[in-house]
Amino acid sequence: MNYILASIALAFFISYIYSWFMEKCTGVLVTAVIAGFFAILVFLTISCKQNWNEYKVTLENTDPSDKDQYEKIEKMVKLFTILYYSFLVISILFACTICCLIPRILLAIKIIQACAEFVLEVKAIVLVPIVVTVLTFGYITFWGYWTGLTLGQGTLIHLQSLPYMSIEINKTIRNELLLNLFALLWVLSFLLASSHFIVTASACIWYNR
């Protein structure tokens, strides 16, 4: 029990630190992610270009009479040619996309910062997913118990081709099982939507207070 409580406390502490970090350093984090991804694309482009040039030189110095070696190097030249131009085009498109979406990115950063500030100020909001999770597992447990009772209304049969017993159900039991399945999906969707509504409504009230 102590380990469970310690895990919960650690999870809350990490969540608080993460929220504080997102409030203070969202711009730096987003910029670092975009710059890192672009740097990876540039590195791959340059690397493919260098390998392409090396294999081109090797191909020029290879004796065409050695068909196997010549064809192998020729395939590598074609491969790195395709990779080079592919990464080059992706890098250019990525850079153009980022330049066009700068206003949207700045807006997204402000939204993330506002969300983090909301979580830090309205600390009780972290209880919503916990309560919803408990209700979800509780209902799933009840649903499994009720489904087992429904299946228990069937008739046990033993087929010679199977090493275990089977349950023969009639049309009424089958309809009950389908209704139970629909109820499971509906209740889980309702709990999820309720949690979203509570968090969204709370954030709107907090933001416009």
The CA distance from 87 to 95, in Å, is: 12
Is pLDDT of 69 > 80?
A: no
Segments making up each domain of the chain, as ranges: 1-121, 124-209
Q: How confident is the model at residue 36 (pLDDT cuts 50, 70, 90)?
A: very high
Q: Mean of the per-residue pLDDT values for the chain?
A: 84
3-state secondary structure of 28: helix
CA nearest neighbour of 138 among 172, 182, 188: 188
**How much is the pTM?**
0.60
- Which range has the top average pLDDT, 15-29, 66-80, 181-195? 181-195
Residue in the structure block whose two tokens are 């979406």: 101
3-state secondary structure of 136: helix
**CA separation (Å) from 78 to 26, 72, 83?**
42, 10, 9
Q: What is the pLDDT of residues 132-169, one digit of tens each?
A: 888 999 999 999 998 888 887 777 777 667 666 667 77
